[in-house]
Amino acid sequence: MRVAVISDIHGNSHALEAVLDALGAEAADEIWCLGDTVGYGPEPNRCCALVAERTTLCLAGNHDLAVSGAISLEEFNGDAAAAVRWTRQAIDAASLEFLRGLSPLGRREGVELFHGSPLDPIWDYVLSEEAARRSFEATSAPLVLVGHSHVALVLSFDGARIAGGLAAADEAVPLGNERFLLNPGSVGQPRGKDPRAAWMLVDLDAATVSFHRTEYAVGATQAEIRARGLPEALALRLALGV
Ligand code: ZN
């Protein structure tokens, strides 16, 4: 089975639609989303509708849980809080119902999935070797998938040593005998000074992962952010990929 894994869409429907087009060409059997469908971006309802329709598994991220009221706004600062506040008043009934049905962790055969990490599926970031080691030790599945940091990662663990690091665009990696922890990066607010939307394709039968970047109309999302009065920094960062 070939699974396209997306994460951290953050209300950016132009990025999401470009990625859905691109992964359709790769003939993915299923699409899994690791959370944060909303927050920061201008099109939360369109993104919820598309994710609800197209994915077979979707996790809740910290922004999703804040918008649905499951966690407090006090956990957020600055632009993130302003965006959650805006999204709470913009979200429609169907999107809210969708978000309320999501969990920050999930499981499929041979795969454990978390928005943050196994230690804290909502808030923890896996961005260091130490964090990766703790995540491997807290799980037993051959494959661990995380989102939340917006940084594409491929890390392996042979029971003693962590190897790997940042995943480059268009990089393909065989998933060998070690266990692996993968992060697809972010669809709607990508990092690494690369503004293209990030996602990955996992072939569970062939045991390979490939990392992808897809161009989208950044200017269209920026115009929507400005039209809705969301913080200007949220528009500017999209063009820079930071
Ligand atoms: Zn996020």
CA 98 from chain center: how many Å?
Answer: 17
| CA pair distance 46, 51, nearest whole angstrom | 9
Q: How far is the CA of 147 from the centre of ligand 1 (A)?
A: 7
Q: pLDDT (tens digit, 9 = 90+) per residue, 106-161?
A: 999 999 999 999 999 999 999 999 999 999 999 999 999 999 999 999 999 999 99
Q: Which ranges constitute the DSSP H helices of the chain?
A: 13-25, 44-54, 62-67, 78-90, 93-100, 129-137, 218-227, 232-240
Q: How far is the CA of 91 from the centre of ligand 1 (A)?
A: 17
Supply the pLDDT for residue 11: 98
Determine if the pTM surpasses 0.95.
Answer: yes
Q: How far is the CA of 108 from the centre of ligand 1 (A)?
A: 22
Q: Domain 2-219's class?
A: alpha beta
Supply the pLDDT for residue 53: 97
Q: How far is the CA of 35 from the centre of ligand 1 (A)?
A: 7
Residues in the chain with pLDDT values less than 70? none
Q: How far is the CA of 52 from the centre of ligand 1 (A)?
A: 18
Supply the pLDDT for residue 242: 93
Locate the domains of the chain by residue range: 2-219
Supply the pLDDT for residue 27: 84
Supply the pLDDT for residue 56: 97
Q: How far is the CA of 210 from the centre of ligand 1 (A)?
A: 21
Q: How far is the CA of 160 from the centre of ligand 1 (A)?
A: 30
